[in-house]
Structure formats: C-alpha cells, structure tokens
Chain A
Amino acid sequence: MYSRTYKTLVSAPPLLWVGLFLLLPYALMFAHSFWAVQDGTLVHHWNLTNYQKLFTNSLYAEVLFRTMRIAASVMLCSLLLGYPLAYYLSFHSGARKELLYQLVIVPLWVSYLVRGYAWKTILGSEGVLNGFLQYFHITHEPVSVLLYSPFAVVLVLTHIYTPFVFLPIYASLEHIPRPLVEASQDLGAAPISTFFRVILPLSMPGLLAGATFAFVLSLGDFLAPLLVGGSSGTMIANIVQTLFGATYDWPLGAAISVCILLITLSLLFFAERLERRWSFK
C-alpha cells in the first residue's frame, strides 16, 4: 500500500546516517588496528604488530582475564539478586506488584555516575561505612581494603546492573501462563520442583538476556574502575582509554577495542541462539 517513493524517503536518511555515523566509525576502528604509530604520528602502514603485541605481552592477557572475572562476578551477583526479586514480584507480591515494580525502575533512571559516586563515599577509609563501624565499636581503625579493589568494582557494577538484569527476567516470568504453574502444583509437584521444572526453564530467555547484558556492559566499563577500582581493579577498557589518551597509541588501542567488540558480538550471538532454543512457542 505504500508507494516506492514513500519507502525510499523513509529508508534513505536513516540508512545513510547509520552508514556514515555507525558503520564507517566501526570500520575506521578496524582499520586503525592494522596501522602503526611512528615518532608520535599515525602512519597508514598495514601490519599485524598490534595483534602480535596483544598475544605476546602477558600484561594484556592478564588484564583481560581479570576483566572477564569481574564481568562474570557482576553477572552472577546481579542474577542472584535480580532473579529472586523478579520471582517474588511476579508470583508473591500480590497487590503491591505495580508499586514495587516502579521502585525497581526508578534507580535505572538515576545517573550511573551518581550511583558510582555514592559507593565511593560509603566505602572510603574516611567514608560512611567506616564511620558507622567505628561508631558502634565494631572496628577501631578505618578499614581501608573496601575501596580501590576489584571487590569495589564488582559491588558498584552489581548495584548498577541488578535492575537491568531484573527487567527481562521479570518480563519472561510475567509471560509464563499461570495455568501451567497451577497444573504442576495440582498434579502434586512440590514447590521446589515446580520452580526447577516449570518456572526456571520457561524464564530462561529472560535470564539469558539479563546475564548477557550484565556481562557485556561490565566487560567494556572503564568508569567504575577509575572511580573505585584503584590499580588492582584496572580493567581492559582502562588500558584502551590510556592508549587513546596519554600514551597515544591509537592502533594498539583500536586492536584491543576490536577484541572487546568481537568478544561482545560472539557472546550476543551465542546468547541469541540459546534463547531461541529455550523459548517456547
């Protein structure tokens, strides 16, 4: 029913824009990763040295593994917090459901930076938590291990991504036909086995979506480590950021970015395939 002109007019501008401002920049990043820096200027010599550096210098692998560990911990912690919360809201909260749902959404809109900063003021050696512990004579000296550690990074990122993980899980729990759950109970299944054999499998797509989200976004985070990570909490994106800033080695930074991009895209790809396998229609 729509004319050819109509279709061209609506598709051409976004196609051109996306080509120019998304596809071209990603392509440029890819190209940079094969270029080099000589005497402080970028030269367009195609080579593989950047990738060789990544695989031979153990520093990069070490930081990458630490980053993966942190991202996996964030994913696990936010699932452990987000799933039971979503389950409670969907199945047990009764009339307060709508209000509680809104209460989970609110922090989603609150600035990333504000939340990271809040934790910094809590965890510091002069911070609120240490003040609290000393006031009640639980400790007598400030505990300084709280801030500037991988633990602090995991804590902050978990706090930020728990509502993100909650959302898709809650949506998939809400889509479970209630008669299925009742049938399982009526046929004599214990609540535990109803959960593990009916509810959990049916909520798998939401769980996978939430888990991927938490992992991928933590993987590329550079602000939380700068804010609360200290030197032991440095992540791979911090290395990229230094290479693009003070160190001025864009090609090497681009090579690491391409690696992050590839890891992200392959994770998304696998999550999507798994999701399709678990979703029922």
Chain B
Amino acid sequence: MSRKSPTRRSPFLALYAALVFAFIYLPIVVLILYSFNRDGVGGFPPRHLTLDWYSQLFADGAIWDSVVNSLLVASGAVALSLILGLLAALALDRASFPGKALFRRLVLLPLILPGIITGLSLEMLAVFAGMHLSLLTVFLGHGTALISVATTELFAGLQKIDREQEEASLDLGATPWQTFWRITLPNLKISLIAAGLLIFTLSMDEIAVAFFLTGRDNTLPLEIWGRLRRGITPEINAVSTIIFAVSVALIIIWYRIRMRGVSTEAQQLLERP
C-alpha cells in the first residue's frame, strides 16, 4: 500500500493554494507597507520609510474620539447580546413553546441577511418610536444583530455540558437559581468568553448596520469611511495597520481560550470513570 491520500504529493494543487494565499494576503501586506511610506499611498516601490503617518494619527483627536465611541458601543453590544443570547440558547435547549422553530430562524436572520436590511429596518423602528439616532441606537442595533452569534456559540456550548451535574445539583436540594449560578454558568465560561471576544471584534468592525443608525457621533469604521470619501491618505493605512494588529492579537487570545476549552473537555473525558 504505497498510495495514501493524505501524503500524496500534488505540486500543482500546492502552487494553486499558495496563489490563493497570496491573493488573500497581498492587499494586507501592501496596506501595511505603505503606512510607512513617506511619499504617500501609491507609487512603486515604496521608499523613504517613516513613522510620520503614525505620529500624525496619534495627534488626530477625531479618530480617537471615534475609537472611544466604538469601544463603548462594542462593550455594550457584548453585554446585551451575551445576556439575551444566553437566555435564547437556554430556551432553545430546554424549553418548548409555540413558534420555537420560527424564533430560531428569526434570531439567526441578521447573520445571513445583508446588513442594509437589518440597518434600515432598525432605522425605521427608531424613527417610528421617535428616537433620535445616536450611539445608543448603534448599540441597540449591534446588540440585537449579534444575539445571533451569541446564541449559536452558547447553544453549542450548552450541548457539550454534562447534564448530570445539573440534575445532581437539583436533586441535592439546590434551587434552580443556585444551580444556574454554580453549575450552568461556570460550565459555560469558556463559551461565554470566546463568544464575547468574537462579538466585540465584529462590533468594532461593523459598518453596514451602524451606517444607518448613527447620529452625530461616529464609530471608528464610520470615521474612516467619512475620510475615504474625501480622499486617500497614509494615515488611513496607519490606522488600518493598527486595527489589523489588534484583530490578530484578539484572534490569538480567542484561539488560545478555545484550545483550552478543548483540552479541559478532553481532560473531563479522561477523568470520567
């Protein structure tokens, strides 16, 4: 038996895969490279490397205001969507009620619908309810749309939980409330942190929904968007490079937490008699 599929060599396929990777990464590399280019974006090759664009960026008050706005919106969205997503996941896992199938689909809808539909329909609601568009409406929009992500992640987490622990806790006389705080929630810790990080990143980057829900204050993507309409400057490359670096750092953290989750699950399996 010399033919084993996983080790069979196929140079053509490997080359093709390398080209796809190049396509995915080339724009990001170009973006980062030109954030250090004194002569601005464009021209080839980039020369006269400089950090001027970064110092200009750090002195730019409007950008930092928008970063603070984005952080506020994202933190709020994480809290809101985790609470409602946790309840929704518990409901889908444990309760039966009329319209459950419809509810499941409705919750997940913002994940697959184009952002413009979610954004516009929420704008209509805000206007209908007489609310002024502001960071509050952006927070409500992100929080609501991202319940989908929280529900999927936490539902998957709930499916892996050992039910017997909860049963034992209830049988031994703990109230459902105590069981929830002392058994269910600790068991979901890793799913909660992983979902929270994912939601935070998604909210920080989101633009289509925020586009329709924002008032006078901009989130970071909207601030960048506004500047792009006026023209390209390497300052945008600099801020994009920083966003990229922060995203990569968050993924590594997210990935570590996930891996730890997997290893503790493996441990639990091993420890089980």
Contact = CB atoms under 8 A, between A and B. Distances in A.
Interface of A: 1-3, 5-8, 10-11, 13-15, 17-18, 21-26, 28-29, 32, 81-82, 84-85, 87-89, 91-94, 100, 102-107, 109-115, 117-122, 124, 126-128, 130-132, 134-135, 159, 162-163, 178, 181-182, 185, 191, 213, 216-217, 219-223, 227, 237, 240-241, 244, 250, 253-254, 257, 260-261, 264, 268
B225 A106 contact: no
Contacts of A128: 30, 34, 41-44
A117 B128 CA distance: 35
B266 interface: no
Given A11-B91, A114-B31, A128-B34, 17 more contacts: A5-B176, A8-B95, A11-B97, A14-B87, A89-B17, A100-B17, A105-B251, A109-B205, A113-B225, A118-B28, A120-B228, A121-B41, A182-B4, A216-B113, A223-B225, A240-B116, A257-B117
A163 B23 CA distance: 11
Interface string B174-217: 00100000000000000000000000010001011001100000
A109 B41 contact: no
Given A28-B125, A110-B244, A240-B120, A17 B84 contact: yes
Given A81-B20, A122-B27, A127 B121 contact: no
B7 interface: yes
Given A159-B27, A213-B112, A85 B95 contact: no
Interface string B115-146: 11110111111001000000000001000100
A88 B17 contact: yes
A134 B44 CA distance: 8
17 contacts: A3-B176, A6-B176, A7-B95, A11-B87, A11-B97, A25-B121, A85-B16, A88-B16, A111-B240, A114-B28, A117-B228, A127-B41, A240-B116, A250-B124, A260-B117, A264-B113, A264-B117
Contacts of B106: 18, 22-23
